């Protein structure tokens, strides 16, 4: 029997107990910690907040998104790696962009060494690339040891949506999401096709077309 897809509640701005409780009450299976959106981004402050979450028994996705792929605040790669090293022990999953060339291998090695699940992600806020390019992204992520390859692209028409859906027919181990109004349906439909994780907001959307966990 195929395992049911997971719903991740995206926590932006800060890690507040009331937002965590809201995510769980809404039905979130995972909590995505979007460190790049936090005003306080020093390891000590975030570690203190994560230690307080130990009793919730929901796996965390650690994400420190680069600005070129949608991160809110600029964080240098050196600082991002420092944060990954400090915070990965608290997470169940670690998300790193395929384009993060200077720190990608270090984060992959860290994740594997700690026995965490590795998400290698690709985000395109302008368009959905062609089928050949999308296939190349999947194969590259798999070759690097990803447990999940996450592909998120803006969908501008039915052709874009079909092209993303076809990935779920051709490959296993993917999370695929279409951004924008046209891609909204993908957040519900694609998990039925095998997409591993769908993401919903808790306080405010972190991507175009993102629905709340409660709506999903």
The residues carrying an active-site annotation are: 123, 150
Q: Is 137 helix (H, G, I), strand (E, B) or coil?
A: helix
C-alpha to C-alpha distance for 94 and 84, rounded to whole angstroms: 8
Q: Which DSSP helix (H) or strand (E) runs through 107? A: helix 101-114
In which region does residue 109 sit, left (phi positive, over 0), alpha (psi from -120 to 50) or beta (all else)?
A: alpha
As beta bridge partners, residue 150 has 121, 175
Query: Which residue shows structure tokens 């996450």?
Result: 150
Contact 98, 129 (CB under 8 A): no
Residue 212 per-residue DSSP state: B
CB-based burial of residue 91 (10 Å sphere; 0-12 exposed, 13-18 middle, 19+ buried)? buried
Q: Is 115 helix (H, G, I), strand (E, B) or coil?
A: coil
Query: Which residue shows structure tokens 């022990």?
Result: 89
C-alpha to C-alpha distance for 202 and 199, rounded to whole angstroms: 10
Query: Which residue shows structure tokens 């981004």?
Result: 41
DSSP letters spanning 13-32: SS--HHHHHHHHHHT-SEEE
């Amino acid at each position: 029997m195929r395992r049911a897809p997971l719903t991740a509640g995206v926590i932006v701005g800060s890690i507040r107990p009331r937002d965590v409780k809201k995510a769980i009450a809404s039905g979130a299976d995972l909590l995505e910690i979007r460190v790049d959106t936090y005003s306080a981004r020093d390891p000590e402050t975030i570690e203190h907040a994560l230690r307080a979450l130990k009793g919730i028994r929901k796996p965390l996705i650690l994400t420190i998104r680069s600005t070129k792929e949608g991160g809110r605040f600029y964080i240098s790669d050196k600082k991002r790696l420092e944060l990954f090293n400090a915070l990965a022990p608290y997470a169940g999953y670690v998300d790193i962009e395929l384009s993060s060339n200077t720190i990608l291998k270090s984060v992959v090695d860290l994740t594997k060494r700690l026995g965490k699940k590795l998400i290698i992600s690709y985000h395109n806020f302008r368009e959905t690339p062609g089928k050949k390019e999308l296939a190349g992204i999947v194969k590259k992520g798999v070759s690097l040891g990803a447990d999940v390859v996450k592909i998120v692209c803006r969908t501008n028409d039915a052709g874009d949506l079909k092209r993303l859906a076809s990935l779920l027919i051709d490959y296993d181990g993917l999370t695929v999401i279409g951004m924008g109004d046209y891609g909204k349906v993908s957040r519900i439909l694609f998990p039925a096709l095998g997409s591993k994780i769908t993401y919903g907001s808790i306080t405010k959307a972190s991507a175009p077309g993102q629905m709340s966990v409660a709506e999903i």
